[in-house]
Amino acid sequence: MSRVIPATGSETLHGQDTTEGDVSRRPDDASAPAPGPAVLLIPTPALAPPEPRTRRGRRRALGLVVPVALVALWALAGAAGFISPRLLPPPAAVAEAGWDFVAGESTATLPGVVPFDGAAARHVSASVARWLSGFALGVGVGVPLGLALGLSRRAGELLDPLVQALRSIPITAWLPITLVWFGLSEGAARYLVFIGALFPIVIATADSAARVPRALVDTALMLGTSRSALARRVYVPAALPGIVTGLRLGLTLGWMSVIVAELTGQTSGVGAMMFAAREIGRLDHIIVGMATFAVIGLAGDVVLRAVSRRFVAWSEG
């Protein structure tokens, strides 16, 4: 099977020029083939036939074996007295708290008080909104920046040291300066999620773009692709599987950053609920929050994989 990529256009690309990455300074090569309509066939493995539903269902059910076994072990250890309920409430108590969180009777609360009973929809929707808005901003900044770093030598020399230094700063270290910049506001929470999602996307995109095989580029040029079209017609499609991996990492780390973001004086959100539960010593509420983070994070990754699969199916053997 082959992927057909039409070839047109011109652009400065990392490692493809002989004048320090600036194509605009290179004189036209009379011996080069004249640009024109051409196609580049990228050999790709044949797609495997769809997996039968019964086999797919068994595989998914198998993934539940370890979590169920751990919960059973947790319950048995608690019942035998090996674990104090003050340190780890039994699964039944956590399940009851989870039911109260989702379907309990909600009551009016004073300003600044974080509710729990019946407040699942309020907290989950607030956290997911912060997550998705921060992640979207991370994609909008991270993918173009990563492509610039991966495809342009000059951009890499100029920006890569700064990017590598900034990505080493823990997300919690961004909290104090974010509070100074944004105050106790929704903007502070979304900015922290953006920071958490940004750097995995930048690094994965840059690395994937820089590792596109040279033979693929040479073939495109031989078929008449202009240098300005290489990024759009060759580099981005070939690097797309790696870019998707960066998006998945950014999505997960952005979601993990939500709990730090909700330290910015929020009264809604799963993280805000967990911090309020810590103040009153409700470990069952905290575990419910952890389970909520786990389920929503998994669901987000599943959705992203499903959406991106149609764009990278050619790379799957």
Specify the pLDDT at position 59: 66
- Structural tokens at position 256: 């993990």
Which residues, given as ranges, of the chain have pLDDT below 70? 1-53, 55-57, 59-60, 108, 110-112, 227, 313-317
Closest by CA to 229, choosing from 11, 25, 38, is 11
Specify the pLDDT at position 315: 61
| pLDDT tens, position by position, 17-44 | 433 444 333 334 444 444 444 444 444 4
For residue 134, what are the CA distances in angstroms to 142, 158, 191?
12, 26, 6
Residue 10 has phi, psi (to 5 degrees) of -155, 145
Closest by CA to 293, choosing from 264, 250, 256, is 256
| pLDDT tens, position by position, 65-92 | 888 888 888 888 888 888 888 888 988 9
Exposure of 17 in the CB half-sphere (CA atoms within 13 A): 23
Identify the bridge partners of residue 41 per DSSP, sorted by sequence position: 4
Domains defined along the chain, listed by start: 2-72+89-315 (1.10.3720.10)
- Structural tokens at position 32: 């080069």
Amino acid at 13: L
C-alpha 230 chain-centroid distance: 26
- The reported pTM is 0.74
Give CA–CA dist 174/190, Å, rounded: 12
Specify the pLDDT at position 255: 92
What is the DSSP-derived secondary structure letter of residue 39?
Answer: E
For residue 292, what are the CA distances in angstroms to 85, 114, 186, 235, 279?
21, 17, 21, 38, 19
Give CA–CA dist 308/84, Å, rounded: 45
Q: Which of helix, strand or coil describes residue 43? A: strand
Neighbouring residues of 98: CB distance < 8 A, sequence distance ≥ 6? 288, 291
Angle between helices 270-279 and 236-261 (to 10 degrees): 30
Amino acid at 245: T
Q: Which of helix, strand or coil describes residue 248? A: helix
Specify the pLDDT at position 299: 93
